Amino acid sequence: MSAILERPGDVAAAPPQPDVLPAIRPAKGFIGFLRRYPTTAIGGSLLLVILLIAVFAPLLWTTDPTALAPARRTREPSVMYWFGTDMLGRDVYSRVLYGARISLLVGFSVAILSSVVGLAIGLFSGFIRWADTIIMRIMDGLMSIPSILLAIALMALTRASVSNVIMAITIAEIPRVSRLVRGVVLSLREQPYVDAAVAAGTPTFMIVWRHILPNTLAPITVQATYICASAMIAESILSFIGAGTPPIIPSWGNIMAEGRALWQVKPYIVFFPAIFLSLTVLAVNLLGDGLRDALDPRMAKRV
């Protein structure tokens, strides 16, 4: 025996261990999540910066974005006018920063409204069999029309305003959300735990609330980010062709539409709002890709 106990209460000393540095454990919590999914961190940070720019635009050395000054029209970017001025003498820098409010408002509003309405339609269609055929044929009819053309047609029936733009784009996006939710519901309602709940006499509403709805939140959250990016592009297209927000309201689409006539000689009027629109859409798409990887178990195993 390597060690002999002199008394019953004695304990053999543990053999000496070699000096080994403790293993570095990965960070947990929010920081660990961002390290594991860097696209979420990049997209979320960039989107947060743009959101702060939009909220605090009056404090970022801006002027009235609608103030006309013909004497200073088409000034080149300089220390006084960072992004130059347009053909009416308005400060492009101020108009671009205030235009972020319109794009973010439209994007977030359309994403929320279309997700809520599409979720309700998808749940009802996927779990109530007799209504599935009727509702899905209506959704298929709406999806057969390109979303931007449908939005243009709806805007042609109403007056130009931000609220009407939101409603037109929302109606065009609802069918995609409803079909996504319906597909998830069709796969979930065949699961054994749903059959057990039905056999136990659980009301349909409780089955949907406890078992179906929680499992649809992950895919619909990812889809909402893509809808947000698509809605901002659609709003810019509508405003660019004159079917979106009124010209008096500074939006990125309106700014680019007003600057296209001077594109060859004054490209900065179109360049700066286009850059901001591209960065915002990129940020939302990166955030959506990161959320997809985090919320999809199959993708999470590959990370």
- What does the pLDDT look like over 168-185, one tens digit per residue? 999 999 999 999 999 988
Locate 245 and state its tokens. Answer: 């927000």
Locate 244 and state its tokens. Answer: 């979106």
- pLDDT reported for residue 6: 45
The amino acid present at 271, given as its one-letter code, is F
How far, in Å, CA of 180 to CA of 189, rounded? 15
Round the average pLDDT of the chain to a whole number and report it: 84
Label residue 15 by pLDDT band (50, 70, 90).
Answer: low
The SS3 assignment for 157 reads: coil
How far, in Å, CA of 74 to CA of 266, rounded? 7
Topology at the third CATH level for domain 48-61+83-302:
MetI-like fold (1.10.3720)
Flag the least confident range among 32-41, 131-140, 207-216, 279-288.
Answer: 32-41
The amino acid present at 216, given as its one-letter code, is T
Locate 14 and state its tokens. Answer: 């543990």
